[in-house]
């Protein structure tokens, strides 16, 4: 993985701040603040904002090719061509599983920091109480 993007981070990195704002509205029926867009990817200042969390990982292409690459012999230091070795032709499926698992672990850890208790029942009670508080705001 060579880059991780939250929301539209990579595509808007060079944009002006005024062009990438997620304006806020209030939905009276749902009793929620909403955003017209989600360029921030659901995360602002390290805090989720209630919108969908959008995370993208960028992987480099696999470097093993059928065409030998130029390298150097470690002993003689002379130029040689690297040996061709068969490898996976696409890392995306495995990378996606690993990326999703890592995000799930981080989210679970954060969830438990906020709502955790000595039992699952206490954690559930803490979470339900928080949801009620948000809905009554």
What are the pLDDT digits (tens) for 76-115? 999 999 887 766 677 888 888 999 999 999 999 999 999 9
Burial class (CB in 10 A: 0-12, 13-18, 19+), 135: exposed
Residue 73 and residue 22: Cα distance in Å, rounded?
54
Contact between residue 39 and residue 5 where contact means Cβ atoms under 8 Å apart: no
Residues 6+ positions from 38 with CB-CB distance below 8 Å: 7, 22, 51, 52, 54
What are the pLDDT digits (tens) for 4-51? 999 998 889 899 988 999 999 998 988 888 999 999 999 998 888 889
Domain boundaries, the chain: 1-58, 61-136
The model carries a pTM of: 0.71
């Amino acid at each position: 993985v060579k880059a991780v993007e939250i929301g539209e981070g990579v595509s808007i990195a060079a944009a002006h701040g005024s062009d990438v704002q997620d304006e806020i509205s209030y939905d009276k029926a749902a009793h929620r603040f909403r955003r017209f867009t989600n360029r921030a990817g659901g995360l602002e200042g390290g805090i989720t904002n209630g919108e969908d969390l959008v995370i993208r990982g960028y992987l480099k292409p696999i470097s093993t090719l059928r065409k030998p690459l130029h390298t150097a012999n470690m002993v003689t230091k002379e130029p040689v061509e690297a040996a061709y070795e068969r490898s996976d032709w696409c890392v995306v499926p495995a990378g996606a599983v690993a990326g999703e698992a890592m995000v799930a672990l981080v989210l679970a850890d954060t969830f438990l920091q906020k709502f955790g208790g000595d039992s699952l029942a206490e954690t559930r009670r803490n979470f339900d109480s928080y949801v009620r508080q948000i809905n009554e705001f």
